[in-house]
A and B are shown apart, each in its own frame.
Chain A
Amino acid sequence: MTDYQVVIVGGGATGVGILRDLSMRGISALLLEQGDLAHGTSSRFHGLLHSGARYAVKDPVSAAECIDENVILKQIAAHCISDTGGWFVQSSEDAQSYVEQWIRGCAYAHIPIREISLADAYLKEPLMSKDVLRVFEVPDATVDGFKLVWANAKSAKRYGGDYKTYHQVERLILDNKRIVGVAAKNLVNGEEIMVHCEVVVNAGGAWASQIVGTIGVPLDVICDKGTLLAFNQRLFQRVINRLHPPSDGDIFVPHETITILGTTSEIVDSPQENQPREPEVKRLLAMGEKLLPNLMGHRVIRAFAGVRPLHREDSEVPGSVEEGREVSRTFVLIDHEVHDGVEGLISIVGGKFTTYRLMAEKVSDWVAEKLGNTAPCSTAKENLMSEIPQDLRKQALRLLPCVAAEKMLERLGDDAEEVLTKIMDDPRKGQMLCECEMVSVAEVEKVASDEDSHHLADIRRKTRLGMGTCQGAFCTYRVLPLLGLENKKFDPLQDELKRFINQRWKGIRPVLWGQQLRETELTRAIYASILQLNENPG
């Protein structure tokens, strides 16, 4: 007797992608996530939807996968993607021989490129360094990791898929070397649960080795920390890559009203080591200067870091299910029956955000075969979110500022109706609670009451609250009355507030200069002096 056919461990892009895929094939699945969905690496990256051009020289398999998925995702996840296009820019320091290799690589992977005249380029991107030799346009785009993950989860739910957040897997349960279930703990109330299943998919990303480690199965995941910077404005209108072998600080990705500069690469011991450090920040700025002079003169609002899970490249790929398919070096499927003699357990390691759907498809194919399900994958054909009805959009535009209305519709889809009803009943709920990211009181109220919102940070990930220029100085305070005083769902309010501010602080610490330092003085004045949340010995 089983509760679900499959338990997926890990609520990043890959995990929710698998949940959606399996659910669409009619396989019953439950996803367990130790934190909130997308709290890990799937939101801690530059948000670049690769065209594949970045891998055109070094990794042609990966490049070809990226361009295929790029085209698919622009179709099925249009509301999470901004089709900005991207440029590869050769500076005077970058070798001509590499440019030629790159052009050949793009052609080989069928990535469309187009050279742009410098005159045209400077017209479109006036801040770009004058020290540029050639500019090529590629179909890069930007993607909102939070939105994409939530859209997958919601889509999966419509097909009967389940997920539980704040549930940490304590151990996998074996019966004679065969997986029969998972024991997990609800981190919100401490309750232990047991879920019976036939198959466990380990999509724990950087945490993957810890999960199979609970039954002594070894899995070699390298934790590769990447630090990024967020600037408070759109420095460029499109993704700007440097045309050289991929390195630190050579990608600028514009999102909404900000720009992200990435990325560093450093092997760390554990996925918890995601504190960005000052030397990394300085390295990023120094490298970024090559594409954008006087970069330090622009306001950095925070630094953040994600931990990429890499599979050791030189290792064998045992148990690759599709015989003959050369699993790309970018991601690997590990059938633990072949490798460790444990039946019904598969790990998916490595890969990129851009190829999350493909990875999910490959995993789901394996699971389907295991369970004798013959339904084909249909995730590439159906949009993640249904079209927003015209009258809903019209109503949103009537009740909210245009930008706020569009952003809300993209985040909530059909659920927007609930928010708009609230605003119609009480126009004051249409006020912007988060003025930097334009999030209305009604939207925060709705999200705070969602059953899977347990912390302020969960509301942040779903709405972008506190992610703008003020980094929570004003909106953290304003969200307090919405945190459900009556049902005590959230921690004691002042603890919740301090916890949230400390989380924001983590990303501000390494970029504490200029305007962000002034902002910090104001934030400390508000919380330490006006609200006096710290000890006053006076």
Chain B
Amino acid sequence: MWDGIIVGGGLAGLLAGIRAAERGKRILMISEGVGSLTYSSGVIDFGNVAQLVRQDKHPYALLGESIVRNGADYFQAHFPDYHGKWREVQTVLTPLGSPRKAGFIPNGLNAQVLHDAHLIVLMAPEGMKDFFPKVTKANLERAYPQCVVKVHPFRLDAFESWHTLGKPVNGMDYTKYWRSASGTGALKGVVNSLNQELDEARSDPADPGKSVVVFPGLASAFSNSIKEVLSDLPFPVVEMTAFPPSASGHKLYDALKETFGALGGELMVGTGVKQVEIQGKRCHKIIVKSKGKDSEFSARSFVLATGGVFGGGIEVTPEASKEMVFGLPLYVPDEWTNSEFLGDQPYARIGIEVDRELRPIDSKLNEVILENVQVIGRMIAHWDPWVEHCGGGVSLASGWFAGETM
């Protein structure tokens, strides 16, 4: 008998697992895939909290601002590589080099320093997939008109054979290489030669100084060796967020898993729930299909963190929408879409309606459906991360709350 079983291993599920395990609970996490963090930029967005806590039925409104904040604080306490202050907006660079707002950001991404820069050196790793130096330069020039932007291309012996074959080298490949022993050495070489160039520029009286280096495909968070190389430099380095797949998101996923495991949590990846056993208003047991045979697991409480439509927790067909684990009823908006793709899209608010304890409710009868099940993250109804920009915040708050109370 487990104290808790968490179905789904993305940001919300893992944070719930970490908190519960830390409280001494025996937690099993069952995850069909590896969550969506690798698709994300690794940045945690909170959105306009003050406004969203007043928005009818929004997860922030159900939980209240103090719990949203607790989730954020808790996350930051465990992952000090994430910087940012509560309700303070930060700036990071998009993969196209435009500044954008963000909540908590991984070490090295803070772009604030660009406001005071006079020279931006844009590092351009040879042939990096989905990184466009010219577009990025143009966007940096537009955003920071006081700056001169210089592109600094470089190529590495390690990828010579890739270039010859025309094989793409994506940001993850570069990040992986920088983290290896030989790659860290190469990184030192790259930044040292840059430093010499900048030194010469600095001795030029026409150059007013204040140089900042913008570096794509570098993820210093959770890597002491890279941080060490960068800390010795006389100029600040601003990392860029990445187009999927993103090393920053991936490293956060790794760090969450590691923390969960270190606290005694058990993680099964690649298995889905086949069936659940319910008695009255309680779930007792889940049956998972694993390695060709079925296995049963019993627990006192359960957390549903299967990631909504994208995570596979909700399946929509032309006839019906279905929650895939417990078969819970879903809030399905009457109007499904709007014409402006990046505007409000009603479909995005599909999900499970929950009470303040995050238990699934029948909203017509106003009754809890399953008393020992909590729903977190993207599975909760009535929010749209792509217009409200609060995806990280909802996951952390609901994940933390479930871990705290299960």
Do the beta carbons of B386 and A529 come within 8 Å of each other?
yes
- Closest residue of chain A to B168 (Cβ to Cβ) is A431
**Could you tell me the distance between the alpha carbons of A83 and B191 in the complex, rounded to whole angstroms?**
58
**Could you tell me the distance between the alpha carbons of A17 and B88 in the complex, rounded to whole angstroms?**
62
Tell me the A386-442 residues at the B interface (CB within 8 Å).
423, 426-431
- Chain A's interface: helix, strand, loop or mixed, by majority? helix
Contacts of B318 in A (CB 8 A): 281-282, 285, 296, 513
Chain A proximity of B224: nearest CB distance (Å): 27
User: Of B39, B94, B339, B347, which is within 8 A of A502 by CB?
Assistant: B339
Do the beta carbons of A517 and B39 come within 8 Å of each other?
no
CB of A490 within 8 A of chain B? Answer: no
CB of A366 within 8 A of chain B? Answer: no
CB of B329 within 8 A of chain A? Answer: no
CB of B48 within 8 A of chain A? Answer: yes
User: Of B127, B129, B164, B389, which is within 8 A of A529 by CB?
Assistant: B389
Chain B proximity of A406: nearest CB distance (Å): 19
Tell me the A493-538 residues at the B interface (CB within 8 Å).
493, 498, 501-502, 504-506, 509, 512-514, 517-518, 521-534, 536-538
Do the beta carbons of A512 and B168 come within 8 Å of each other?
no
Stretch at the interface among A41-49, A120-128, A245-253, A476-484: A476-484
Most buried by A among B45, B243, B386: B386
Which bracket fits the contact residues of B? 35 or more
Do the beta carbons of B310 and A521 come within 8 Å of each other?
yes
Do the beta carbons of A430 and B132 come within 8 Å of each other?
no
CB of B165 within 8 A of chain A? Answer: yes
CB of B342 within 8 A of chain A? Answer: yes
Do the beta carbons of B337 and A509 come within 8 Å of each other?
yes
Q: A427-B166, A485-B134 are in contact. Are A537 and B316 (CB under 8 A)?
A: no
Do the beta carbons of B135 and A480 come within 8 Å of each other?
yes
A119-155 to B contact mask, C-beta < 8 Å, 1/0 = 0000000000000000000000000000000000000
**Could you tell me the distance between the alpha carbons of A478 and B246 in the complex, rounded to whole angstroms?**
16
**Could you tell me the distance between the alpha carbons of A278 and B51 in the complex, rounded to whole angstroms?**
34
CB of B271 within 8 A of chain A? Answer: no
Most buried by A among B96, B101, B316: B96
Contacts of B317 in A (CB 8 A): 296, 513-514
Do the beta carbons of A531 and B96 come within 8 Å of each other?
yes
**Could you tell me the distance between the alpha carbons of A426 and B336 in the complex, rounded to whole angstroms?**
46
Chain B proximity of A7: nearest CB distance (Å): 36
**Could you tell me the distance between the alpha carbons of A514 and B390 in the complex, rounded to whole angstroms?**
24
Do the beta carbons of B343 and A534 come within 8 Å of each other?
yes
Q: A525-B386, A538-B46 are in contact. Are A485 and B39 (CB under 8 A)?
A: no
User: Of B36, B243, B387, which is within 8 A of A534 by CB?
Assistant: B387
Q: List 21 A-B contacts (CB under 8 A).
A: A281-B318, A282-B318, A426-B166, A430-B166, A498-B342, A502-B340, A505-B339, A506-B339, A509-B337, A514-B317, A518-B310, A525-B40, A525-B385, A529-B385, A529-B389, A530-B40, A531-B95, A532-B94, A532-B98, A534-B386, A537-B47
Interface residues, chain B, with chain A CB atoms under 8 Å away: 36, 39-41, 45-48, 51, 89, 94-96, 98, 100-101, 103, 127, 129-130, 132, 134-135, 138, 163-166, 168, 241, 243-244, 246, 308-310, 312, 315-319, 336-337, 339-343, 345, 347-348, 385-387, 389-391
| Known contacts A428-B166, A498-B342, then 13 further A-B pairs from the complex at CB < 8 Å, ordered by chain A residue | A427-B166, A428-B168, A477-B130, A480-B96, A480-B132, A481-B134, A501-B342, A521-B308, A525-B39, A525-B385, A529-B385, A529-B386, A538-B48
